[in-house]
Structure 1
Amino acid sequence: MFDNLADKLQSAFKTLRGHGKLSEQNIKVALKDVRMALLEADVNFHVVKDFVERVRIRAIGQEVLKSLTPGQQLIKVVNEELTALMGKEYVGLTFAETAPTVLMLVGLQGSGKTTSVGKLSSMLSKEHHKPLMVAADVYRPAAITQLQVLGQQLGLDVYADLEEKDPRKICQMAHQKAKAEGFDVMLVDTAGRLHIDQTLMQELRDLKAQLAPKEVLFVADAMTGQDAVTVADQFNKDLDITGVILTKMDGDARGGAALSIKAVTNRPIKFVGVGEKLDQLERFHPERMASRILGMGDVLSFIEKVEKAMDEKKAEELERKIREQSFSLDDFREQLRQVRQMGPIDQLLGMLPGVNRAALKDLQVDEKQFARLEAMINSMTPQERFDARLINSKRKQRIAKGSGTDIRDVNNLLRQFDQARKLMKKLTESGGKRFRHLPKRFSRGKRPF
């Protein structure tokens, strides 16, 4: 998502090269391209009009700082306005003073409500909460079963009643269970429809009145673009939603929903789904998203992914082994596993500033290569994994045969291992304790919602 928009915005900024300051004329030319890029990204017309006008007023006549070119000066203004457009800063969940805190997830069928209940419950449980998922969608076939399966996968509790057809009674019993058994968060998976109708909205209004939720989160499919914004606006008028969860942000949607929904509803995007796996829900940081759109990277999110994948004790042990030159193929295999946990490689590279987007489009990352590397390491003896120098031609043949690869693959693995060992040793010698110096504000205790 946003790749096409990012390319077009970068192209618009290039038109300012060679100019000494941002004048009305050169700004007009650049903003025409910005306007077209936003409209092609399916951003709401009125949102685009107001956005471009704000940028124009701020940019015209500004003297270019000595350290910046006119294009960079405009990027600075656009970055700030894009951030403001999407909400300025991350807005977290509001918790009740007395447990359980009730979170209602609402939206149309197919938007990803049930999966989002599972993802959000998983996130909360990792932050030391005790969530109870409530199956209150009694209309969609297999909705209750789907939530129960998610609960089993996550090892979390689900309240479901296959016999009861009144969602109000289901929620009443679930609330009693939550209070009696010490659940501090109750996430309600409500019913949806293919389109908005009064029966649905009345049911949701009744549930809201009954449960008094601290959050009513509208779940929107980012792939539906402006339709998602229109539906969000209607839900907000009926239910006074408190925030938005955008799903399928890893898809090839143009990004209009993410850029429009806050401006239209005046409600923040709180979370985004970035993949199908149950741990692929992220907090929405407008300033980071704006940086990604403008090709400036997102180092903070990258660091958070590293922290999430890397255990601090293991990092300290790894550092010790590197310093003592005892880094083995077992350790190399563990690092490969942690990299895989961080997500698709192309997404990780997209978070780094200065990475060429066009090159990323052509990059074909073979995720199966990780499995092949691990299979080769698994085919080695403990002694070979401890000391790779033992691996001669005969041993390579055995390893290749045992892993379903060939000797060239084994040679490549050993070369990569040697390069990784040298690089890690160089990093620790030149930069001190690199692994332990990652920011800890996101890794200790509960995350502030």
Structure 2
Amino acid sequence: MTSYPADVPARSGCPVSGGRVPLYGPEFTADPAGIYERLRRNGPTAPVELAPGVNATLVVGYDAALEVLRNPTTFPRDGRRWQRNTPADCPTLPVMGYRPTCLMSDGDAHARLRRAITDSAAKVDPNMVRARVEATAEMLIAGFAADGEVNLLAKYALALPLWVFNYLHGCPPELGERLMTGMSRIVDVVDPEKSNEDLTAALRELVALKRREPGPDITSWMMAHPARLTDEEMLHQLFIILGAVTQHETNLIANALRLLLSDDRFGGDLAGGSLQVEDALDEVLWTDPPMANLSVTFPTEDVSFAGVVLPADQPVVISYAAANTDPTFGAEHRAGNRAHLTWGVGPHACPVQGTARLIASIAIEKLLDGLPDMELAVPAEELQWRPGPFFRSLTALPVRFTPLTTRGGTAVSVPSWAKLTPRALPSQPVEQAPPRKGWKNAITRWWRGQ
């Protein structure tokens, strides 16, 4: 039985000297699929380095990933014991460090926090979500339709989910932009401590705003939930929701658009091709998932697993990108096949995956309908990817198209938002839980692993 100590190579034959494969740097960013393929040759798990000095075990096999995700008793999400022995300036700490969220909790604590999110999100009418996404898409397209070119990543794939988040959570747009910027810098491991402070400050403002002015929105409903979340807990649940919106949803839209515009299988007239859009989403969720490596777990004792010994209190990370493409699973036919692991499985599976896919599908269809001759402005192989081990995300998605104002002289109009005011959300009584004194100091405590 091979052992995976924190700082000693676990298997011979790993593709880099020293045994640990870096999930960062130019080689990984340029060809993560090639790295995953090489890792799988040594078994369903592999010793990796998430950032300089940050060691972990990466689960690259499909069956092994299922076993970890379905077994929170052996593989709990609470990493505070690991965090106590981790330097405060660890570059991945803002993503991997413990927060009192449903994603990083287990048992009753997990169930309580998850219910607050799922029950509140369930109050939103799916028809209202569809109408909001369609109107937002039309507004954004109208903003650049006359230009003939645009960076779809910034102006559409990122902007649309953020607008929807702001609306559903009662967040002013200018505050939403600060939230998005802070989250992006954290995921990219850019000045992580400062980025975390900026994001935390913005989240505090949103929580304080909804305490003062509750409304018919998900944030207010979470505050009024019988779980009676404290301000600290509210802040951290909003953190994971925002991460899903600005990273997972944005990357899903952008990666699917890249595939539709670059892959010959989706060639021809894309306008109105709802089946093509759904097929492209399936393909991306299988082969290029927006959340590549995450769902970190921390065994509380040494665990014999898949032929190795995983050391206690050391991170075990699920590679959705590697597990989905595991050749032993043999999922060659991906269209309509939802057996991929991208949304997670088990108790920590994404609670709103249906809504997330709906938003992406509508956003893409509206764009293709509105700009049917759109094409990439650069060769697909020249598109650049953001660094970092966690998400698969482009730095930009430049496209060109015939400016709408030249098509028969038709003017472009921005749709009215009057029909989509917050009153369209179902009205619910809001009974606020009292704020907890001293909650702001909790940010420092969880950062230090206390």
Report the TM-score when normalising by structure 1. 0.27
Q: Of Structure 1 and Structure 2, which has the larger fraction of its residues in helix? A: 1
Report the TM-score when normalising by structure 2. 0.27
Higher relative contact order (CA 8 A, sep 6+): 2
